[in-house]
Amino acid sequence: MAEKGVKVFGMWASPMVVRVEWALRLKGVEYEYVDEDLANKSADLLRYNPVTKKVPVLVHDGKPIAESTIIVEYIDEAWKGEYPIMPADPYDRAQARFWARYADEKCNPALFPIFTATGEAQRKVVHEAQQCLKTLETALEGKKFFGGDDVGYLDIVLGWYAHWLPVIEEVTGASVVTDEALPLMKAWFDRFLAVDVVKAALPDKDKLLAANKARREQLLSA
């Protein structure tokens, strides 16, 4: 008998995995969550994603889909009658995909070095990250969310910034998203984190802080 239902293979601290959970929760889709130990990946994860062997993986009725942004679009198409995630207009969809790719290919690589940088090097990478986010912030102008009046595709893709960046700031002592540097982004953080569906899927902040502090200490002492 074919496997039925929805299963998500993830890792509790992964911001890419939470994208998938937000999309499913917005659609009202029930799912089983499988937390992976990435140092000892399960046979199921390797079977469902033999190419990259990474999380997240969505398994829908036995069929696996990998890569978080692709999964989010799949969820929107597979459960069309529910909450719309992608914009209805083709131009708006193209713009949402453009900014999502910009964030993943430009902003994320600009943010990651902050985690281990110190002193003047940290100030330099923070400035570079802020410039990238300032460009991204233009997509928020005149809007409550990136998706307009409601959470949409781009909010889901970028939403991890709202929870993970404050953690990174606390761990490293850096100030990235501030009212002065990025006022629209900072206000969006607060609005996004106030959404019940968003809050329900977030990892515990204290646990996330502890894990990131330990990881940073390990990397700096290596």
What digits encode the pLDDT tens for the residues 181-206?
A: 999 999 999 999 999 999 999 999 99
User: Mean pLDDT for the chain?
Assistant: 96
Instruction: Give the per-residue pLDDT at 3.
Output: 74
List where CATH 3.40.30.10 sits in the chain: 6-78
Q: Residue holding tokens 């404050």?
A: 166
CATH of domain 90-221: 1.20.1050.10
Q: Which helix (H) or strand (E) holds 133?
A: helix 119-137
Selection from 53, 51, 52 nearest residue 42 by Cα: 53
Cα(194)–Cα(188) distance, integer angstroms:
10
* Residue environment code for 194-222, b if the CB has 16+ CB neighbours within 10 A, otherwise e: ebebbeebbbeeeebeebbeeeeeeeeee
The answer to whether the predicted template modeling score (pTM) of the entire model surpasses 0.75 is yes
177 half-sphere exposure, CB direction, 13 A CA radius = 23
Whether domain 6-78 has CATH 3.40.30.10: the reply is: yes
Instruction: Give the per-residue pLDDT at 1.
Output: 43
Instruction: Give the per-residue pLDDT at 108.
Output: 96
List where CATH 1.20.1050.10 sits in the chain: 90-221
Which parts of the chain register pLDDT below 70? Answer: 1-2
